[in-house]
Amino acid sequence: MLDTTRPEPVRSPRLDRERENGVGHGFFTRAGGLSKGLYEGLNVGYGSGDARDAVTENRRRVAEWLGVGIDELLTVHQVHSPHAIIVDAAFGGTRPEADALVTDRTGLALGALTADCGPILFADGKARVIAAAHAGWKGALTGILENTVAAMELLGAERENITAVLGPSISQENYEVGPEFVERFVNHNPANRTFFRPSGTPGHALFDLNGYTVARLTAAGVNATQTGHCTYAEEERFYSYRRATHRGETDYGRQISAIVLEDI
């Protein structure tokens, strides 16, 4: 039975070290939400078919946990792109299309919505610059991770001081892909073959999105790690697009991972 009274986010010990620099964070689970049915739990996706009032209340609970107002919990219209944007205030109207948010302003919580893709939270506590990125295979392949780091540098962050943590996302054991998918990655870089292993289906493979993401982050010069949770396998805790698809369900919820700079 899900706890509907309060959010229970996964925490990263690496990011918790930045608490002394005023960095707060959480990789939120399904716990603590009002949504029902397919969306049971803390669904924060306005793009889902869930009741809008429930999604709004779920977002308000996340914002409250992070110590900000609901308008200061910022998320973008995610489009699986390499685009990272710098923000210095709450959005006044339509959310921009992008896949990462970067700021050096206190009181703004930056969020990434996922349901198998990778949520990455970044912090340079010394420079007091934070970011949140959404990286599925397409975003990771085309540069969202590196572009997020570059945007942080524009605000004074230094790569060697940036901690980047990949939160709950789909594991290799549950991410089967076809030969054209493998070919795309290998053509981009032959070394990418190491992130695939044979599946039980001829010509298909299992893709290690988590390993690929952490490898790209490490190559970018930041201190990268992951929480190690699988959204597909851990049904009680996380929404999963692929799990819903395999079951023939018509829709799915989205969880949020978010980071905030507090006054110190």
> What is the distance between the alpha carbons of residues 20 and 74, in angstroms, rounded to a whole number?
23
Q: What is the pLDDT of residue 37?
A: 96
Neighbour count for residue 36 (Cβ, 10 Å): 13
* The pLDDT of residue 110: 98
Q: How do residues 168-211 score in pLDDT, each as one tens digit? A: 999 999 999 999 999 999 999 999 999 999 998 999 999 999 99
pLDDT at 53 over 70: yes
**Per-residue confidence (pLDDT) for residue 5, from 0 to 100:** 77
DSSP annotation string for the chain? ----SS---B--HHHHGGGGGTEEEEE--STT--B-GGG-B----TTSSS-HHHHHHHHHHHHHHHTS-GGGEE--B--S-S-EEE-SS---SSPPB-SEEEE--TT-EEEEEESSSEEEEEEETTTTEEEEEEE-HHHHHHTHHHHHHHHHHHTT--GGG-EEEE-SB--GGG-EE-HHHHHHHHHH-GGGGGGEEE-SSTT-EEE-HHHHHHHHHHHTTSEEEE---BTTT-TTT---HHHHHHTT-S----EEEEEEEPP-
pLDDT of residue 6: 87
Per-residue pLDDT of 27-42, as tens digits, reads: 999 999 999 999 999 9
Q: Which CATH superfamily is domain 13-259 in?
A: CNF1/YfiH-like putative cysteine hydrolases (3.60.140.10)
Q: Mean of the per-residue pLDDT values for the chain? A: 96
Which pLDDT does position 187 carry in this prediction?
97
Tens digit of each residue's pLDDT (9 = 90 or more) over 220-256? 999 999 999 999 999 999 999 999 999 999 999 999 9
- Provide the pLDDT for residue 200: 87
pLDDT higher than threshold 90 for residue 96: yes
Query: At residue 132, does pLDDT exceed 90?
Result: yes
Mean pLDDT of 124-142: 98
